[in-house]
Chains A and B, each alone.
Chain A
Amino acid sequence: MTKDRQQSVVDGGIGAKNTTSKRHSRRKFLVKAGSAIAAGAFGAVPLRGFAADPINIGALYPTTGSMAQIGVGCVAAAKLAVEMINDAGGIKSLGGAKLNLIISDVQSDTTVTRTETERLITGNRLSAIHGCFASALTLIASEVCERAKVAIITGSSSDQLNKGRTHTFTPFARASQFAKAQLQMSKLVSDQPKVAVIFENTAFGTATSNGLKELAPGEGVEIVMFEPYSAGFTDASPLINKVKASGANALFSVSYLNDLILIVRTVKQVGLNVAINGGSGGFVIPDFYKNVGQLAEGLQGVAHWNHDMDANAEKVNAEYKKRTGEFLFEYAGGLMAQTYMIADALERAASADPQKVRDALSALDVSSGFAAMAPGGKVKFGPDGKNVYGRPVGVQWQNGDLASVFPKDDARAPLMKS
């Protein structure tokens, strides 16, 4: 009876003075003990990477959460690149030192990205990092890297990544360049393109679509609809209904994969005759074709990397296909090139020190080899971390694979008319 009463009355209630003090001290002991155990566990964890020989490279990708499939593919590609470099002899200027890839899952979540980036950097002696696919996540990782003074190299397209940073490198096309390419491609299918632009409302969608809005008049393209939408909808019909009402003959969708699948299928259901340009991101991965099937044939997109760009790209594509059974998609191929760029920097720096690697990266200037796998075949960083030769390539789904079709210099296959 007494016990019941004590349990139902909060600490400090009438008549419970003694119990209160007992509970207090007991609790405090628990908290103290718990913290001590935690401290012991973590303080006692030995820092990895003291051995000078293998060079640690961090890779941050979302292998769980909403972007998981892409993350998983990226990790496979990251491992493949490191293996290829190690098999070819490692970093020769450091006595054949091997690259050691340390991977972390950022769970498609901004907070986790922050803590994982920190954890990776402080728990290991890293020479450089690459990641994280989604621009929103990469922005955060970049902030952490800037403060920790470790170089991060990324294929994420947000233009923000080149503002006010010294340790962030972007070898591939920026969101604004994607926009321009998309606009120019719309003229391939129609002389008077009337474009409906729909975009998911986070960093990725907003950055790209802003570029579209600004550049459209200059390219002679009329935008008849410009709408952000909340990603992850249950039904694309209302959205497509709006597209239909706008009278557009082309649809630019800046979306992640699940929405793209719905959009493409709904357009078919509605019987709407629009040329879809799915941009990049979820549009240019094998999973898109797997889920949409024949409907994907002839659809155009833009990518910052494609496996038919040059012989080296086809080589890594073949290797990747052997392991995963799928073609090497944009982000994954790009990050393989980035691994080679890091290796190139290590060679020239002849050191694993992150500051020296960062300096060597900023002086990167390649036009051949795996490190130069990029549209245009050249990589050189300007003072803002941008590749001065960076540009996107227009792609089209042909026979279940992606072929580069635009601009003329980069076209590896003729444009399929639908």
Chain B
Amino acid sequence: MLETVVQAVINGLLIGGIYALVSIGVTLIFGVVKIVNFAQGEFVMIGMYISFYLASQFGIDPIVSLVVSMPTLFVIGVLIQHFLIRRVLGPNDMPQIFLTFALSLLLLNLALLLFSANYRTVHTSYSDEAFHLGGLYIPEAKLIAFVVAMGLSGALWVFLHTTDLGKAMRAAAQNRDVATLMGINPDRVFCVALGVALALAGAAGSLLMPFYSAYPFVGQVFVLMAFVAVVMGTLGNVIGALIASLLMGVAESLGIQFVGADSGLIVVFALLLLTLAFRPNGLGGGRMR
């Protein structure tokens, strides 16, 4: 019994790492640019397809292909901010929401058009293997993904707290007007925010490739969990998103194990609504960290 619980927790943590990469991107964008990016899942999908094509055409391992997917998505992020999002920034948040929603629809169907609906899978040497410790098992591919995800999150934190650009981003997140007065160029900061967030999404995609199949709608599956984590961890709070993601992963896993196989999401939503009932701004306390 204990073994089952421990295994469930391990499973939850591992997938939570992926949720974290996606949710940190969303929360970063919200914290700095103050918009909700409904299309984040589609960027994960793009990352997956990039890794898939590199793997199937050139035999490059998906983890290695991070060095391609992340910069590519960074550039895409900058372009999207500069040409699309910048035009709808303003006091009214409705156009922004629908812009990202329309973008999501566009990317989904473009992918369908270009890549067809077929599932694409990559098999690596570690894809279907696992480490066995006593009765427990830890899938290799997921462990690697988790470690890299944590590493990237840590790197982001360092970036935000030690580099000038990172501090500028945090400043803009806390108070855009004052930051502008201090000489920070908001548009440049927003571009970097979008770029970094999408790069993280792309990383999630590449890390997923060894154990998850790519198809146009794959992003939708992950984005829901990511959003719940973002809200729970307080919008804009990177550490909050990380911790909430891991928590969500574990909650989902335990929910499936002990409540019912179709109840993972219910447990997660219940947790979300409970959190909001008592902490309307999420657990993080409201500030971007």
Contact = CB atoms under 8 A, between A and B. Distances in A.
Given A66-B217, A227-B260, A237 B265 contact: no
Contact of A237 (B11, B132, B260): B11
A284 to B, nearest CB: 15
A295 B4 contact: no
A72 B252 CA distance: 34
B256 A232 contact: no
B128 interface: yes
B8 interface: yes
Contacts, number: 108
Chain B, interface size category, equals 35 or more
Interface in B213-258: 213, 215, 217, 220-222, 225, 252-253, 256-257
B211 A287 contact: no
B105 to A, nearest CB: 12
A229 B8 contact: no
Interface string A182-203: 0000000000000000100100
Interface residues of A, number: 38
Interface of A is mostly: helix
A228 B8 contact: no
Considering residues A227, A238, A295, which has the most beta carbons from chain B within 10 angstroms of its beta carbon?
A: A238
A108 B62 CA distance: 31
B7 to A, nearest CB: 5
A270 interface: yes
B256 A242 contact: yes
Interface stretch (A144-152, A254-262, A364-372): A254-262
B144 interface: no
Contact of B15 (A66, A235, A269): A235
16 contacts: A65-B117, A68-B112, A69-B116, A232-B220, A234-B15, A237-B253, A238-B11, A238-B252, A239-B256, A242-B257, A261-B213, A265-B127, A265-B128, A270-B137, A290-B118, A291-B119
Interface of B: 4, 7-8, 11-12, 14-15, 18-19, 109, 112, 116-121, 123, 127-130, 132, 137, 139, 211-213, 215, 217, 220-222, 225, 252-253, 256-257, 260-262, 264-265
Given A227-B261, A242-B257, 12 more contacts: A66-B217, A72-B116, A229-B256, A238-B253, A238-B257, A239-B256, A239-B261, A258-B215, A269-B129, A269-B139, A291-B121, A293-B123
